[in-house]
């Protein structure tokens, strides 16, 4: 008995067989048209040939006056106190951090802030000794 489809003719059966041959055998492309194939991932050798992702002078980095660790700490701090209405004080910052379930390290750092009012996240970070970004002229 010959196997085939009752829904379409032998010509379409042959075309579908040809299109799925690579998939069934596990070798080669699964599509008959090259433009349907995904591009291969770049290898380590290819990455050396790629142009840098940023133009010279526009590479990401650490601003003057802050260490890379300070940038990370400031980012983490900002994540947990975003949504606070500035200006605010230490107690309001601690209450907000607790309400959003900030890590204990963030809450402890906020508790160590001096009394006073803070106008923005930068002032909070500076009071915690995380560095102050220096503007270049």
The distance between the two most distant Cα atoms of the chain, rounded to a whole number of Å, is 90
What is the structure's pLDDT at 56?
A: 63
- Cβ neighbors of 61 (< 8 A, separation 6 or more) are none
- Which DSSP state fits 18? H
Which residues in the chain come in under a pLDDT of 70? 1-6, 22-23, 26-37, 42-62, 134-137
Q: Please tell me whether the overall predicted TM-score, pTM, comes out greater than 0.85 for this model.
A: no
The rounded mean pLDDT for the chain is 77
Q: Using the Cα atoms of residue 110, residue 111, residue 116 and residue 117 in order, give the sign of their dihedral.
A: positive
What is the structure's pLDDT at 82?
A: 87
Tally the C-alpha atoms within 13 A of residue 81's C-alpha that lie toward its C-beta.
Answer: 30
What is the structure's pLDDT at 21?
A: 73
């Amino acid at each position: 008995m010959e196997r085939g489809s009752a829904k379409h003719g032998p010509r379409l059966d042959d075309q579908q067989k040809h299109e799925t041959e690579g998939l069934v055998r596990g070798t080669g492309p699964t599509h008959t048209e090259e433009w349907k194939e995904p591009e291969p991932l770049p290898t380590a050798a290819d990455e050396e040939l790629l142009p840098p992702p940023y133009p010279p002078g526009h590479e990401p980095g650490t601003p003057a006056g802050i260490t890379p660790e300070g940038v990370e700490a400031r980012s983490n701090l900002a994540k947990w106190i975003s949504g606070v209405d500035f200006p605010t004080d230490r107690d309001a910052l601690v209450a907000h951090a607790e309400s959003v379930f900030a890590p204990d390290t963030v809450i402890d750092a906020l508790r160590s802030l001096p009394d006073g009012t803070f106008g923005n996240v930068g002032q909070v970070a500076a009071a915690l000794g995380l560095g102050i970004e220096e503007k270049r002229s």
